[in-house]
Each structure stands twice: as structure tokens, then as C-alpha cells.
Amino acid sequence: MSAHHRSWWALVALLLAGILSTGNAAAETPVKFTLDSRFDGPSGLFLLPLDKGFYKTEGLDVSIDTATDSLESIHRVASGGYDMALGDINLLIKLRDASPIPVKAVFVLYNRPPYAVIGRKSRGITTPKDLEGKTLGAPTTDTAFAEWPIFVQANKIDAAKVTLENVSLPVRDPMLAAGQIDAITGSTLSSYIDLKDKGVPVEDIAVLLMADYGVTLYGEAILVNSKFAAEHPDAVSGFLRAFMKGLKEAVRQPSIAVEPVLKRNSTARKNIELERLTMAIKENIVTPEVKTNGYGNIDEDRFARAIDQIALAHKFKSGKPKSGDIFDPSFLPPTTGRKVN
């Protein structure tokens, strides 16, 4: 073969390679994903598979954005502006009851939610009943405060004896640290760590994790827009497979999972975010139920009890929902792939 012909065939091969690579890029399904917070320790569970190319391996072009809270992330998915999200499953249940929104949960991340009442032992708080006669700082928009009526009933607290002070989220932790209130509702992943960071002695912090005191609710879940799920079922399944791979790596080595967070959040400190992620894994994600049944799914009986508890704080307009109205397990990886190891 002449040099001219060799160079011609080389050019053809290059053109074909270019066409094939363009085809592969075009085949990637875009997935707009929103968190329900800023980039913090637990965000690493989603950012790690992004930076390691796990989503890309599944043929997905994933983008991940921050949000103010679960209300914002759920509304983003409901509007179709985002395809998938992290959001509080109990808030989703209430929003779906208020008006039909095309959003379902497909993977429960927090098997036990981080909702808590956090008090100061020096102000007499060590048990739920100790809240009687005390002042509780409770932001009305706080997801933990939304479950206060459940916590009250489960622990036979006389709510009339608790003074509720509506404090804004930015001043909640500082007010408790300064001793202006006796306890707060909040998340262990934020308030507990923030209080320690503000110099409150660990031995003076009383953490009443609601899940330890009779509250059977699930917590944060991966949500999907129903239209997107119907049109791109393989993308939803692929996202969960990639996420599952990243989750297992993060559980084994949390210090690696916080690196993508530090890369994106210049104000984040590694020791704080690592503690936040480690606490989430230990307290909320790898629970006894998850060790038995694997990541991501729900227990039908427990979910039914959770709905009954939500009814204590929320009057359902159209009857109590069934688990299938809220949670779709069909996109989950096989049970063997979801086992804790």
C-alpha cells in the first residue's frame, strides 16, 4: 500500500473514531440533580461518584446543585426544572397530600432521620420529660420541629408546659450556646456539631434523637420526577447503581468522600465535614435495619406506622397514603448489590 493510501485510511479511521466518540457523548442522558442543602459532609455521597466517573460509566451526564432546604429541592423536581433530588420523605408525603405533585422517592438514604431535640444538661435537660417547664427554640420551618407533635405523644410530654419560642434558623444554635433558651429542635448533623464548634462542652449537650424516642419515621430520600422516570427508567436505575457504588466507598473511607466537598466549598473545614459525614453514616444510614435488609428500601410495616405517626401532626385531606403512592422500589439495584459489606 502506498504512503498516500495509508495516510488516506488513517484519516478515515480518525474520522470514524470522532463520529463514534461524538455518538457516545450524545448518548449520555443529562440528569439534573439537586441536593437539599449546601455542599457539606454528606453531600460527598453524591459528589464522590460524580468525580470518580461512576455516573458517566452508566451513560449519564449528571450535574449536582445545592439548595436551601428540602422544600426547595422537592419543588424543583415537582416543577420539572430538575430530574432528581435529595429531600425529606416526610415533607414529600405532606406536600403530595396538599396537592398532587409528580414526585416519588426511589431510594431511602437516611433509614433513621437526624431529627432531634438538643438541650443543655446544665439547664436540666437529660430526658424528653425534662422539657416541661423549659423554653424550646423551634423554627417554624424546621423539619425536626414538624415532628414535635409525634415526639410529644411518644414520650407523654405535657406540651402545654413547654414554652415554644419561634426563633429563626440562623440564631437557633447561637441562642442555645449562649443559654438564652433551654433546648432546640434541629438536626444532629448541623446543630450538634455547630454547638460543639461554638465551644459548648460535649458533656453539657443532651441529644435526644427522635428515632431513639419512639419516632419511627424515615428521613432523607432520593426523589425523582415521575415524567422523567417514565421517559428515562434506565437513567434512574443507572443513577442509583452509580450512587450505590459511591455510597459503599464512602462508608468504607469517609475521609475520601469529603474531598469533593472541600473542592467545591471553600469555607468547609475537613475535620467538621468529616465528623458530619461519619455521624450520618453511623447514626442515620448504616442502621440495624439496613444491616439486615440492605440500603435504600423501606419496611412496609414500619412505613405504615410512620404514616400513622405523621397523621398525629398532619391532617390528611385525601386519606392516608399507601407506601406505593410515595415510594417506588422498582429502580433499586438487586438486593445483593445493596447489602452492607
CB 121 within 8 A of CB 202: no
| pTM given for the model | 0.91
Residue 264's CB is within 10 A of a number of other CB atoms, namely 15
Spacing of C-alpha 75 from chain mean position: 15
pLDDT of residue 3: 53
Question: 3-state class of 158 per DSSP?
Answer: coil
pLDDT of residue 194: 93
Architecture of the domain spanning 10-111+218-338: 3-Layer(aba) Sandwich (3.40)
Same fold, 10-111+218-338 and 115-212: yes
pLDDT by residue for the chain (341 residues), tens digit each?
A: 555 555 555 554 555 555 454 444 458 999 999 999 999 999 999 999 999 999 999 999 999 999 999 999 999 999 999 999 999 999 999 999 999 999 999 999 999 999 999 999 999 999 999 999 999 999 888 899 999 999 999 999 999 999 999 999 899 999 999 999 999 999 999 999 999 999 999 999 999 999 999 999 999 999 999 999 999 999 999 999 999 999 999 999 999 999 999 999 999 999 999 999 999 999 999 999 999 999 999 999 999 999 999 999 899 998 999 999 999 999 999 999 999 98
In the Cβ-directed half-sphere of 273, how many Cα atoms lie within 13 Å? 26
Phi-psi category of residue 214: left, alpha or beta, with phi > 0 → left and psi -120 to 50 → alpha: left
275, containing H or E segment: helix 270-279
Architecture of the domain spanning 115-212: 3-Layer(aba) Sandwich (3.40)
Radius of gyration of the chain (CA): 23
* Domain residue ranges of the chain, discontinuous segments joined by +: 10-111+218-338, 115-212
pLDDT of residue 23: 46
pLDDT of residue 4: 53
Q: Would you give the DSSP letter of residue 291?
A: H
Cα separation, 337 vs 313, whole angstroms: 36
